[in-house]
Chains A and B, each alone.
Chain A
Amino acid sequence: MAAGEALLRLEALSKSFGGLQAVSDLSFEVRAGTITSLIGGNGAGKTTAFNLITGNLAPDAGHIYFRGARVDGLPPHKVARAGIARGFQELRLFNRLSARDNIEAAIPGQQGENIVRALIGGHALTEERDVTQARSSALLRDLTIEAHAESLAERLSYGQQKLLSLGRLLATEGELLLLDEPTSGLSPGMVEDFCARMRRLTDAGRTILLIEHNVEIVMRLSDWIIVMHQGGKIAEGKPDEVRGNVVVMHTYLGISS
């Protein structure tokens, strides 16, 4: 998909839990090759929006289009296969698998993941294993955690776990990356590293939809910002436009005009 076209489109999406309207009449687009940020206070509906996009929740109303095809109603693994890779705020790593296994479990289209093919075995699987290992090694090297490739994920430092979680997303080869607070809890140096990585990813043709609380990072990194409040969209625009929006300043940033 060419840069600038709408890769993901939400149309009038709504979701309520009992009496709580978590997302209401939410519409927006994410353009290919951009970093688009979802901002808003706690309970604004950002993570619910993620869960709707990934199929972890079914919308009460509205539709979701990815590359022009509807993806609402698909189960999570099919949404992922369509090219939407989702990271979790709580990481959800496979803790008692090695860092390498965490990455390799994410690599798509492996024949050896089919039990019948695994039982038959053979040369094709050996070759496939070599390809998979080369791919995971390259990713681990790029993430600077190659030295910990064989360590259990739970033994890594928090920063390394965040990197591994990003690596697992990249291994899926998904075109759209949904990142939920990727820089939270990181040291200033690592935050910079993450920002640079995100920028490199979009330069390389990936698209990022970001949930982030750090306003300074959002303003610096985003191509487009969507402001949510009480489940709905109250504003959107380029960072400067959002910064200049009185309503946003008031409701989200807590600055009175």
Chain B
Amino acid sequence: MEYFVYIGTLIAIYATLTISLNLLVGYTGLISIAQAAIYGVGAYVTALLALHVTNDLLVSFALASIAGILVSLIVALPSLRLKNEYFLIATMGFQAIIFSLFMNLDITGGASGLYGIPHPALFGYTIRTSFEMFLLAVTLAIICYLLALRITRAPFGRLLRAVREDQTAVAALGKSVFRIKFSIFIFSAVFAAAAGTIYTYSLTAIDPVAFGLDESVFIITLVIVGGTGSLNGSVLAAAVLILLPEAFKFIAIPDAIAPQLRQVLYGLLLVFFTRYRRQGLIGEYRDVLK
């Protein structure tokens, strides 16, 4: 039972991360490979707070989000000047820098990370069970989904898609591309960092590997498999791609090669979807990555 609760928590965390990245990639056309860095900043800020200052959940969410926003604004800056391909490379470099900081700073515990993180407290009540953490993760995912739905259906969402299609034309219509991009980067960062908070409190131990380039590529794989510009697709992809490798555990594959098989599977899915099914599982648009 504990195992299923853990898988469910992971699915909710990844659904949140995928939706937050889809808003950048699928809606706005900003292909960022730095989402795991923002997620990691949220996770580390939460861990450090819990270890040294407070385990108050709301304070953790607030400060993790603020840190996530600050870091994401640094990612956002080059997007204002660089064309898509160059922006992608810039985010990849940024991801590498943040990962290297997690790996090498004393305060982040280096390669072994941080552990022994206390349980969080919400309004004085300590959340101890993994089932409670699962409920928390699902609540965050639902809030993220509903708010993303709201903004994408509003005139603001129309502007996001317009920026994806042609920034020069958006500016010529009197709309500030700068404001649109910064707004969505901030929204996206809040949820990526909050997912980091949930992750830290669920596992009570974190290390840099969970927030590396592989992780960023994995999140963008979820966006593509689910369908760029589809919120439902993001949730579905998170569920399918977390569950699928777990299924390996029930068939006779030795533990020694299971992780490698997982990577192979993700790689194959990425190739398949970009080559044969650009709209993803249930996405609307086919050519965002063309």
On whether the beta carbons of A97 and B158 are closer than 8 Å, the reply is yes
Please state if B285 and A96 are interface contacts (CB–CB under 8 Å): yes
Q: Please, which residues of chain B bring their CB within 8 A of the CB of A104?
A: 155, 158
Interface residues on A, range: 35 or more
B172 near A119: Cβ-Cβ < 8 Å: no
Roughly how many angstroms separate A184 CA and B147 CA in the complex, as a whole number? Answer: 44
Asked if B173 is at the interface of the complex by the 8 Å CB criterion, the answer is: yes
A110 touches B169 (CB 8 A): no
- Please determine whether A95 and B165 come into contact, CB atoms closer than 8 angstroms: yes
For B162, what are the chain A residues with a Cβ–Cβ distance below 8 Å?
Answer: 94, 97, 101, 105
Q: Is B161 among interface residues, defined by CB-CB distance under 8 A?
A: yes
Q: Count A-B pairs with CB separation below 8 Å.
A: 102
Known contacts A80-B174, A113-B156, A94 near B150 by CB under 8 Å: no
Interface size on B, residues (CB 8 A): 28
In this assembly, does B84 line the interface, its C-beta being within 8 Å of a C-beta of chain A?
no
Contacts of A128 in B (CB 8 A): 155
Are the CB atoms of B174 and A105 closer together than 8 Å?
A: no
Nearest A residue to B160, CB-CB: A115
Flag if B174 contacts A81 (CB, 8 Å): yes
CA–CA, A93 and B156, complex, Å: 18
Partner of A112, one of B154, B161, B174: B154
Binds A, one of B9-17, B64-72, B175-183, B247-255: B175-183
Q: Which residues in chain A, 100-152, are within 8 Å of chain B measured between CB atoms?
A: 101, 104-106, 108, 110, 112-115, 117-119, 121, 125, 128-129, 132
> Is B166 an interface position by the 8 A CB rule?
yes
Give the residue among A77, A88, A101 with the most B Cβ atoms within 10 A: A77
A77 touches B176 (CB 8 A): yes
Determine how close the nearest CB of chain A comes to the CB of B154; give it in whole angstroms. 4
Q: Are A119 and B150 in contact (CB under 8 A)?
A: yes
A168 at the interface (CB under 8 A from B): yes
Report whether A115 and B158 are in contact in the complex, using a CB–CB cutoff of 8 Å. no
Q: Is the CB of A115 within 8 A of B173?
A: no
Contact B158 A168 (CB under 8 A): no
B159, CB-defined interface residue at 8 Å = yes
Q: Which residues of B contact A113 (CB under 8 A)?
A: 154-156, 158-159, 175
| Least Cβ–Cβ distance between A149 and chain B, in angstroms | 14
**Cβ of B151 under 8 Å from chain A:** yes
B269 at interface, CB cutoff 8 A: no
Q: A96-B285, A119-B150 are in contact. Are A114 and B156 (CB under 8 A)?
A: yes
Residues of A within 8 A of B58 (CB): none
Taking the complex as formed, is B168 at the interface, i.e. its CB lies under 8 A from any CB of chain A?
A: yes
* Chain A neighbourhood of B172, CB < 8 A: 54, 76-77, 80, 85-86, 88, 92
Residues of A within 8 A of B168 (CB): 56, 76, 88, 92
Extra contacts, 4 of them, besides A80-B171, A85-B172, A118-B157 (Cβ < 8 A), are A75-B176, A77-B175, A92-B169, A96-B165
Interface CB pairs A-B, < 8 A, 29: A75-B171, A75-B176, A76-B172, A77-B171, A78-B174, A88-B168, A88-B169, A97-B158, A104-B158, A105-B155, A105-B173, A108-B174, A112-B155, A112-B156, A113-B154, A113-B156, A113-B158, A113-B159, A115-B151, A115-B183, A117-B154, A118-B151, A118-B157, A119-B151, A125-B154, A171-B173, A172-B173, A172-B174, A174-B174
The 4 closest A-B pairs by CB, nearest first: A118-B154, A80-B174, A112-B155, A94-B165
Chain A residues within 8 Å of B, Cβ to Cβ = 54, 56, 75-78, 80-81, 85-86, 88, 92-97, 101, 104-106, 108, 110, 112-115, 117-119, 121, 125, 128-129, 132, 168, 171-172, 174
